[in-house]
Structure formats: structure tokens, C-alpha cells
Chain A
Amino acid sequence: MEMINIDDAKEGMIIIREILNDQGDTLLKEGTALTKDLIRKLKSLGISGVCVENPEKNNSSDAMPSEVSTELQQIEYRFSNVRSEAIMEELMAAVKEYITEKDRSDGIH
């Protein structure tokens, strides 16, 4: 796990440790994909660093084509308010699988 400076945070990076404010309230849950708006908000709230998944990977080319990985992160963002529901987790998994499988079959044809 690595803490990075908020100035190095990029859209699509996944938070792996929840971010709390001074009062101890949760601002962002772990698993959230950062968006430009979220990064801006965190900065405005004085948050200086965030723990993200594979910070180097997000900076360089990944094993997975970047278009798909961006799409998967956007899916996580769209579902970020409803992930406590089992059905919604199932639905999100279906969307992710569909996108990934489609990308693979596009690559074959």
C-alpha cells in the first residue's frame, strides 16, 4: 500500500483506504474510483494524500488495455452509492464481465 500526494492522484485510481475528515467522518469509502471532481473536492477539503491501488500501474501502460480499465473504473463510480446491496453487486459484476468479454472478443475478430 502506498500513500501518494493528492497532486499526483489521477482520475480512475482506486482508493484502498477510506478517507476520513478531521471529525473522523468517512469522506470516501475504499474501493471508490477517483474522478476529477472528487480529486478537486479532496483538495478543497485539505486532504493532502490518498492510498491508492498500484499507483505506478496507473501511470504506465497496464496489462489490460487502458480503454477497458477506464471503463471498469467508470462502472465502479456509477455503482458507488449502491454497492452495499447484493443484487447491485451482482449487476455490477455482470456489467464488468460483459465489458471485459466484449473487449476480448473484439480483439479476436
Chain B
Amino acid sequence: MAYIDLENRLAKIADLPTLSIVARNIIQITQNPKSSALEVGRGISQDPALVSKILRIANSTFYGFPGKISTIPHAVVILGFVNIRNLVLAASISKIFSSKGENGHFDREGFWKHSLACGVTSKLIAKRSGMKNLEEVFIWGLLHDVGKLVLDAYFNEDFTRVVHLAREKEVLLRDAEQELLGFGHAEVGGIVADKWNLPPAMIKVIRFHHNPTEANESMRMAAIVHLADVLCRAIGVGDGVDSKVPCVDKESWRLFRLNKQTIKRLFSEMEREIANAKALLAFVK
């Protein structure tokens, strides 16, 4: 049983590609409250493929303005900085991994379906608790499992064994990762998110989505994504590797005052919103 030691692992992760220059620019521009829609538009325009992708998704029913947005500056004004940054980030990340690690063992489509469902569900949980920045919450859910893409692309042989073990023993992927590698996708995702200079809260959410209480000041955010992950699995939107439901973190459950009735209402909203978000699947795939 191979165990990759810490040094070795970090050396491998240090080779990871960075986000595209356009994506890095956009993250920076959108984080500055003084930036204008024009500046964001100019940043995106440097990548024509991205321009057409963003216009296509901006005009989908997901955002509620079908066929009305014809230019990038218009899209920035209508959708807002955070939505635009989310789209650029998702497009850039899916592009990095699109050609790597595709060996049939890890179901990419299943991965993105689960990620999208988690994004949508995170938003619904946040909305219920009265939070305001819902688009920010969406991207936490969408990217929480990014470490799995890294493992599939850069630790492919090990990850293939992990996937097989999880399926064979019918255990959670994270347990198979611990058994074979001694570390997991949450840890790897956190390291990569840090390398990509993603916002600190997003890094914490990715790193601690299995154990939100360890996220300290970001506990509430990590708890939202943790709960979304559990709820998606409960209703059958697993990640394409294991379909088991992990045990929910009790503190997170109490924090959001979930019970049978609220959960049933959430399920109904989830189904509607997940169906709405299908247009985004073509965007990240």
C-alpha cells in the first residue's frame, strides 16, 4: 500500500498549473470595489473563447435574461461582478482539467453535476438563513471538491486505486483516500485554492467542507457547503464515485436549525433550482 509522504506530495502539487492570466486579472479587478464594469469587460475581452462562453450562459434561463444580453460590459452590469468572476473562475478551472486525467475511472460529468447541485443548495441554505451575498456562496459549493480534479489529473494512478477501493468497499471516497494516500481531496483542494490566490474564505470552505468546525472564523460558510453536500447526497445527487451519505456535522445542523420539515421544503426548492442550473453544466464540462 503506497503512502505518499508530505514532501513528495507538495513537490507534485507545486507543479500544478496556475489559472489563466485573464482569470487572475478578473479575480483581482472584481475584488476591487473601485473597478468599473468597463475594466472587467476589457479583461474578459482578451479571451474571445471566454467572451462567447459567457454571453451564451448569461443569456440562458439560469440568470433570467434569455436572449437579452449582447455585449460583455452589458453582461457585467446585469449579472454583477461576483457572478462574472464565478463564471470566469469556473471556465478557467474546468479548462485546466479538461484534457487531463480522463481515463474513465472518475466520472467528470457526475462530478460537475454534484458540484453544481452543491452550489445551488448552498445558496438555498444561505438564503434561508438570511445571508445576503448569495452568489459568493454559490461558487463555494461549485468548487468545494476541486481537489478531486487535482487528484484525478496529477495523482492519476493513486486516485484510480482510491476510486476502485471506494466502489469495491462501498465506502466514502474520503475514507478510501485516507486509507490509500493518507490525505484527501479537501486538503489538496485547499492547497491549490491557496496557490490560485482565491479569497481566504473560499480556501477555508474547500479545505474544511467535511469538518466545518475546524474552519474557525469561516465555520458558518464551511457549514453551509458541508450541509449542501450531505443534502445533495441524501437526495441522490452523489459525486459519481460513491453514493453514500456521510454523517452530518451536528453543530452545523443545529446552527442552521434544520429539521424534517425544513429539509423537505429545501428538497423541493433544490429540485427546481438544480433543474434550472443545468445550463451551467455545458459551461463547466
Partner of B248, one of A80, A88, A97: A88
Stretch in contact with the other chain, from B14-22, B29-37, B232-240 = B232-240
B234 touches A78 (CB 8 A): yes
A91 touches B263 (CB 8 A): yes
Residue of B nearest to A74 (CB): B236
| Alpha-carbon separation in the docked complex, A80 to B244 (Å) | 8
B253 touches A87 (CB 8 A): yes
B248 touches A37 (CB 8 A): no
Partner of A37, one of B170, B233, B244, B259: B170
| Alpha-carbon separation in the docked complex, A80 to B267 (Å) | 20
**A-chain residues with CB within 8 Å of residue B246 when the two chains form the complex:** 82
Secondary structure call for the A interface: helix
A85 at the binding interface (Cβ < 8 Å) = yes
| Alpha-carbon separation in the docked complex, A50 to B172 (Å) | 26
Most chain A CB within 10 A, of B171, B250, B260, B268, is at B260
A4 at the binding interface (Cβ < 8 Å) = no
| Alpha-carbon separation in the docked complex, A75 to B253 (Å) | 20
**B-chain residues with CB within 8 Å of residue A79 when the two chains form the complex:** 234, 245
Closest chain-B Cβ to A14's Cβ sits at a distance in Å of 17
A81 at the binding interface (Cβ < 8 Å) = yes
| Alpha-carbon separation in the docked complex, A98 to B234 (Å) | 11
Within 8 A of B (CB), among A82-104: 82, 85, 87-88, 90-95, 97-98, 101-102
Closest chain-A Cβ to B157's Cβ sits at a distance in Å of 24
| Alpha-carbon separation in the docked complex, A101 to B264 (Å) | 10
**A-chain residues with CB within 8 Å of residue B259 when the two chains form the complex:** 90
Closest chain-B Cβ to A71's Cβ sits at a distance in Å of 8
B2 at the binding interface (Cβ < 8 Å) = no
Within 8 A of A (CB), among B235-281: 235-236, 238, 243-248, 250, 253, 259-260, 263-264, 267-268
**A-chain residues with CB within 8 Å of residue B236 when the two chains form the complex:** 71, 74-75, 78
Residue of B nearest to A77 (CB): B243
B267 touches A95 (CB 8 A): yes
| Alpha-carbon separation in the docked complex, A74 to B243 (Å) | 10
Given A81-B171, A87-B253, 14 more pairs with CB closer than 8 A: A71-B236, A74-B236, A78-B238, A79-B234, A81-B172, A90-B260, A91-B248, A94-B234, A94-B260, A94-B264, A95-B235, A97-B260, A98-B263, A101-B264
Q: Shortest 9 CB-CB distances between A and B: which pairs?
A: A94-B263, A94-B260, A98-B267, A82-B247, A98-B264, A78-B245, A95-B234, A79-B245, A94-B264
Query: Can you show 13 pairs from A to B with CB atoms below 8 A apart?
Result: A75-B234, A78-B233, A78-B243, A78-B245, A79-B234, A80-B244, A81-B245, A87-B253, A91-B234, A92-B245, A95-B235, A97-B264, A101-B264
